[in-house]
Amino acid sequence: MTTLGETTQAGMPAATKTRASIPGWVSALLPLAALGLLAVAFSITNPLAVFESNLPVAEQINVERIALEPGRMIVSVVNGGPEAVTIAQVEVDAAFWKFTISPSPLLPRLGRATIALDYPWVKGEPHVVKIVTATGTTFEGTVAVAAVTPRPGLREFGTYGLLGVYVGIIPVILGLLWFPAMRQLGRRGLGFILALTVGMLVFLLIDTMLEAFEVAGKLPGVFQGAPLALFAALLSWLAIAAVSSRRGGTSSDPVANRLWVATMIALGIGLHNLGEGLAIGAAFALGQAALGSFLVVGFTLHNVTEGIGIAAPVTRDQPSLWRFAGLALLAGAPAIGGAWIGGFAYSPLLAVLFLGIGAGAIWQVIVEVGNLLRRDAERDGLPLISWLNVAGLLVGIGAMYATAFLVKF
């Protein structure tokens, strides 16, 4: 007999040996089995029966998209409620219309359906579509400015790609053209530019998250849009921070480190422009950008400052034109992909994910630029928080805020 404190011949305590004899997979399944038994017992006993009533379950139909064809409307809906819902009628501009629905009028939880109806919509006019369920509950979708929804094709593909070039790549290139002038600045002036970059990034961070929350409000509640955006931001921040810690902070070459920071800025802005391009493409596709040409010009002016932020970390160096071209593509080209997705396959769920990822990337870029600003201040014996740096921060925020008036409508 082995008493307490005695060991086996192998030197292992007796209690430890007994526990080790149970396979690991059995130990892992035991809590799951207990949880299953608890669920069965709860279902059989039904202790909540006393609280049940004959009231109908709350229904929730989300209108994801209303596509327009000549004399025809195509409405995409999803059941975001806890129970199945039957779509009984469709009302357009306060009048009931015949419709066809596929795959079925009965939508299970998270089920999707496409409603097609012939309707003489008027170009440039607003229209209101109401979905009426079998219980009489109504859910509304709107067309702000009616226009034919573009269909995927070579011409449309090229048009949306060109739109992404105008709002993404060209503004960054224009901003990079200030690089020679920025090189003429002294140490304090370079600190001002870096602080200005932080200010612009702070504005982009807040603007991106607010836009993500706005789009998240259009998702069915079961998708938990706001937490989804926050989790996407957190994961993208941690992923980029992990890459940055392995590459950016380990190099002993200050020139390489500064180029790395510029690359991180371009990456963060690129992810932001991906979500921005998606929103722009969707707006044009759904006819919500009546002043299309003015909107493109507005975004171009608004995004010029992004090129300044990319060039700021490398103003004391002399990167090649190929480096600048790569940075411009990294920051601006995602707007092209975003415009294609938004124009042809817009999804609020994808928009929330992209915007969340962009916000996380921008936050890590703020950390990178802040560290560069701190290191430069320590090397030059200057205070990190000075009136000039604070002024740069405010100018960066103010520039982004002022140019945002051109694209907010």
Structure tokens at 136: 């009489």
User: Residue 52 — pLDDT band, cuts 50, 70, 90?
Assistant: low
- What phi and psi, each to the nearest 5 degrees, are found at residue 317? -115, -175
CB 175 within 8 Å of CB 336: no
Give the mean pLDDT of 131-140.
Answer: 90
Using the predicted structure, report yes or no on whether residue 181 has a pLDDT greater than 50. yes
Tens digit of each residue's pLDDT (9 = 90 or more) over 92-119: 988 898 999 999 899 998 888 999 999 9
Structure tokens at 193: 């530019």
Indicate the Cα dihedral angle 334, 157, 65, 234, nearest 10°.
Answer: -10
Closest residue by Cα to residue 342 from 400, 274, 406, 244: 274
pLDDT at 167: 82
Q: How far is CA 188 from CA 182, 259, 342, 374, 384, in A?
A: 12, 20, 42, 13, 11
Residue ranges of domains in the chain: 14-51, 61-143, 154-404
Using the predicted structure, report yes or no on whether residue 366 has a pLDDT greater than 70. yes
Using the predicted structure, report yes or no on whether residue 171 has a pLDDT greater than 50. yes
**pTM of the full predicted structure?**
0.68
Tens digit of each residue's pLDDT (9 = 90 or more) over 292-315: 455 566 667 667 777 888 888 888
Using the predicted structure, report yes or no on whether residue 4 has a pLDDT greater than 50. no
Using the predicted structure, report yes or no on whether residue 53 has a pLDDT greater than 70. no
Helices (H) and strands (E) in the chain, counts: 13, 9
β partners of residue 107: 85
- Residues 192 and 190: their CA atoms lie apart, in Å, by 5
- CATH number for the domain running over 61-143: 2.60.40.10
Structure tokens at 206: 């807040």
- Say which residue the tokens 């411009």 belong to: 328
